[in-house]
Amino acid sequence: MARPRRPRIMFVVLDGAADNLEAPRRALEEASKPNIDSLAAHGECGLLYVVGRGIAPESDMAVMSLLGYEPSRYYTGRGPLEALGAGVEFREGEVAFRANFATIDPETRRILDRRVGRSLSSEEARELAKALDGMELAGGEGYARFKATIGHRGVLVLGHRRSRLSGMVSNSDPAYERRGYMSVAREKYEPFLARVEPLEDTPEARLTAELANEFIDEALEILDRHHINEVRRRKKLPPANAVLIRDAGDRLPPAEPFREKFGLRAASIVEMPVERGIVRAIGMDEVPVKVEGRDRRDVLREEAVKAIEALRSHDLVYVHLKGPDEPGHDGDFEKKVDAIEDIDRYFFGTLLDNLDVDTAFIITSDHATPWTLKAHSADPVPLLISYEDYYIDGPGRFDERICQSGTLGVIEGGWKVIPLALKKLPNWSQGILGG
């Protein structure tokens, strides 16, 4: 007897697309997005607190939660995930940090721009990173490995030749407050380079803080006189003369493989090192897409084509689309709208025009990045579960206001999304596709 037909699942995350309901304007509501809204005509929606009420999550914690891994059980800090995703060697006893090149006033250590005005090219960043990589610390007992990733972003790994280190240290980036292994965006902060402090009274945490502060101080000296920054100053561009570090971790998450957890063959299309680190940590197949140096619209088209190809051999394909988050951080409402419209036209348009696999959709955001706040917020994000052959009277629009009154209600915890979708979609309780 033939098994009932079960749809494949396309899980799409629109990075930072959500605003808050109190904002005078909301990008999802004003954007022209006929393709996404057509999916909402055949689905249910609601609001989702991705990590929990009152928490403004970073993307790593949010993505881990959305993929089914409750952060309070699995999260061990962003640094190790960044290292894994960037291909930086990370050994037991070392500590990894997420890093940003930044612009500061070297006299006062006041932070002038946390991201070098978003004007630092990846090529410039790689040259700067070479000057920091291999730094000797603590009289030769300690060491640093540093790698630039995309734009102003990087990864720092600290180690000591005679002692273990601890991830329980604070951030030098004042925009994020450490709470255990989690970092939460602060709505208000003093914009000065912070000293890294131990968060527990152990020799390992104290030693880690000492090495981190020594690295930060040495980096200031090296970067200030680097020829890349001399050229940038002549061009009237902000120098990348400091490194901000945050989200220390001393181990990878103890996560069981995604297929064992859910019984689903899963593939992923992601763009950033931290997302790549997460999908590697949970054993998802990776579908590579080159992003740097390409027109964003071409990238979105290719991601759609590769998503269709991946659906033919996988039960679930996870796609994480950048775009709306950066203009949200910059407070640029119109560019945030443009980013959502590009995703709708070039990703969803290409996808829906060429889709040849029976497919259901999960669409949401990893967090809200309200343009009014210029930072991640604790607001819930809209969530849509869509399947054309199953739902006939969906709301027909996908935005915060519509989803506020959606039939899915309010869901607390992104790790509940995939189980909820499997329960809602037909025939999934009878086993995975093809086996």
Tens digit of pLDDT for each residue in 108-121?
Answer: 999 999 999 989 99
* pLDDT at res. 4: 56
Q: What is the secondary structure of 74-93 as a DSSP string?
A: H---HHHHHHHHHT----TT
The whole-number average pLDDT for the span 77-92 is 93
Give the list of residues 6+ apart from residue 202 with CB closer than 8 angstroms, or none. Answer: 166, 168
Beta-bridge mates of residue 319: 12, 269
| CA angle 278–71–76, rounded 5-degree value | 65
CB 20 within 8 A of CB 375: no
Distance between CA atoms of residues 335 and 21, nearest Å: 19
Q: How many CB atoms lie within 10 A of CB 435?
A: 7
Q: Residue 269 corresponds to which amino acid? A: I
At 197-211, the pLDDT tens digits run 999 999 999 999 999
Interior CA angle at 68 toward 62 and 73, to 5°? 80
The secondary structure of residue 400, as a DSSP letter, is H
Split at pLDDT 50, 70, 90, the class of 18 is very high
Average pLDDT, the chain: 94
Q: Is 50 exceeded by the pLDDT of residue 233?
A: yes
Inform me whether the pLDDT recorded for 433 exceeds 60.
no
Contact 362, 40 (CB under 8 A): no
- Domain 8-75+256-430: which CATH number of 3.40.50.1110, 3.40.720.10, 3.60.20.10, 3.50.50.60: 3.40.720.10
Beta bridge partners of 269: 319
Tens-digit pLDDT profile for residues 145-193 = 999 999 999 999 999 999 999 999 999 999 988 988 888 878 789 999 9
Q: Write phi, then psi, for 74 (nearest 5 degrees).
A: -115, -20
Predicted confidence band of residue 293 (pLDDT cuts 50, 70, 90): confident
pLDDT at 430: 44
β strands within 135-199, DSSP E = 136-137, 142-148, 153-160, 176-179, 182-185
In the prediction, which pLDDT does 184 show?
80
Task: State yes or no: pLDDT of 347 exceeds 70.
Answer: yes
- DSSP 8-state symbol, 356: -
> In the chain, pLDDT over 90 holds for what percent of residues?
87
Within 13 A of 251's CA, how many CA atoms are on the CB side? 10
For the chain, give every domain's residue range: 8-75+256-430, 80-249
The residues near 138 (Cβ < 8 Å, ≥ 6 apart) are 160, 210, 211, 214
Q: Which residue has the tokens 């930044």?
A: 102
Question: What does 184-210 look like in DSSP terms, one character per residue?
Answer: EE-SS---BPPPP-BSSSSHHHHHHHH
Q: Which amino acid is at 28?
A: L
Report the distance separating Cα 190 and Cα 193, nearest Å: 9
The length of the chain is 435
Helical packing angle, 273-281 and 59-66, nearest 10°: 30
Contact 107, 188 (CB under 8 A): no
| H-run or E-run covering 307 | helix 296-311
Q: How far is CA 161 from each of CA 80, 175, 204, 323, 407, rounded to the nearest angstrom?
A: 19, 32, 13, 41, 57
CA-atom Rg of the chain in angstroms: 22
